[in-house]
Amino acid sequence: MGVQGVLAGRTALVTGASRGIGRGIAERLGRDGARVAVHYGRNEAAAKETVAAIETAGGSAFAIGADLSTSGAAEALWEEFDRHADGLEVLVNNAGIGSTPPIGEIGEAEYDAVFTVNVKAPFFILKHGMGRLRDGGRVINISSGLSRTAVMPDNMAYAMTKGALDVFSRDLSKVLGARGITVNSVAPGIIETDNTAELLHGSADGWDRAAALSALGGVGTPAEVADVVAFLASHGGRWVTGSWMDATGGSLT
């Protein structure tokens, strides 16, 4: 599709886009014609692979680095972004720490770290990015099915961060709605990425147990989450805001 796509002429920023779900989203938005800012925390080489994949498919992309666990990360991210673009239409807050130890084991430093990356970073990325986001734009926050189910209570602190992110999406939709900007959460279930490799492949029945959670009897892929994000980013998603989109493959039914 390349520049002929539905997002032609628009710029998108996807945080944590060097691998996994973020890479899937970045590649899809690139195929839809957006110029994609591929954010990474530490792995510049992986981010450049995502950029190369987008360009190979006929799209346009650039990599920007900012460690979201550090103070001032949001300002650093936008300073880097401003070197390449003068505004954007689509912002996808995908970067996150994907799991946490159980309540009996987690320490304060680990707790603070997951809230810093998963909640504080998206909040301040928006605080400093609202002026760069053009009217009629899109904000899509990647949540989790775990914000609505206790099926994995040992991952409690992580699930708590996604609950906070959902409230952020809901309230921010009222803040930005007057400008025609939609804000939504997309909540994946178990998706096959390197983050879930141990869960899916660490035991003989890991994959089967994960697949059994889904009404569709499978494990999701980054592309399947990216399709939902692409809809919300498109003109077709213009009347959906403040919403929580279940992309768990029916794992909550």
Any idea which residues carry the catalytic annotation?
A: 143-144, 158, 162
C-alpha span between 134 and 245 (Å, rounded): 23
Element (H, E) at 36: strand 35-40
Phi, psi dihedrals of residue 61, rounded to the nearest 5°: -160, 160
Please choose, from the candidates 233, 8, 61, 31, the residue with its C-alpha nearest in 3D space to the C-alpha of residue 137. 233
Taking the C-alpha atoms of residue 106 and residue 210, their distance in angstroms, rounded to an integer, is 24
Q: What is the dihedral sign for C-alpha 51, 131, 171, 238?
A: negative
Residue 43 and residue 242 in contact, taking contact as beta carbons nearer than 8 Å = no
